[in-house]
Amino acid sequence: MKFSQFLAALLVVSGAVQTLGAEMEIASSGEVAFREGKDEYRVGMDSKDFQKQFGPPEQTFDIGGGRQQLNYDKDGLIVVVSPKGKVVLFNFTIKADASGMAKAHAKTDKGIDADASIRQVVKAHGEPTKREDETVGGESFVNLIYKIADDHWLIFRFFDGEFARCFISDVPDPGK
């Protein structure tokens, strides 16, 4: 084995290099929630159609009220499905955390990525429809909430000043 092959193998094994699929582009207007390559995904689409197109989740959980959570751990994506089998939320992990969920390889169609600040989001996307500033359990978070279509919301969540999660949802306040 050549030294370059050994070094490449060491980097992959150590996690220093990650194989990434196509970048997910989070839509900031209209009915499309996100795109990956030529594929488009929407809030309200049938969960079976989503899974057929995107692929099977690594984990599935019942989260109460007849809803299911589909975890795509390696893609940094959580999908919530209604009791009627429709996708109601896409949750992109922007900063990897202790949950074991990988960082999503994603940015918005206006260029907002993991390094964005609140100021940069507002500069790119305009003033939010609603802003929430809260402290829960000693952690401060800010939600910038944008109505992007009828019953479609784009939410940027910052924990302690860092962009942590991005949601596309059928409600402006998922989790409440």
Inside any domain, residue 101: yes
What's the CATH number where 142 sits?
3.40.33.10
Order of strands, sheet of 130-136, starting from the edge strand that comes earlier in the sequence: 59-64, 67-72, 77-81, 87-93, 162-169, 152-159, 139-149, 130-136
- Any domain includes 5: no
Tell whether 176 is covered by a domain. Answer: no
Domain presence at residue 4: no
* pTM attached to this predicted model: 0.83
72 part of a folded domain: yes
Cα 44 from Cα 111, distance rounded (Å): 25
Rounded to 5, what percent of the chain is helix, strand, coil?
A: 20, 45, 40
In a domain, 129, yes or no: yes
Domain count, the chain: 1
Taking the C-alpha atoms of residue 144 and residue 156, their distance in angstroms, rounded to an integer, is 5
Residues present in the chain in total: 176
Asked whether residue 9 is assigned to any structural domain, the reply reads no
Q: Are strands 24-26 and 106-108 parallel, antiparallel or unpaired?
A: parallel
Q: Residue 42's pLDDT is what? A: 92
Q: What is the DSSP string of 5-55?
A: HHHHHHHHHHTSS----SPEEE-SSSSEEEEETTEEEETTSBHHHHHHHH-
Low-confidence spans in the chain with pLDDT less than 50: 1-20
- Give the per-residue pLDDT at 98: 61
Q: For residue 48, what pLDDT is reported?
A: 97
Domain hosting residue 85, numbered range: 20-169
Is 120 part of any domain?
A: yes
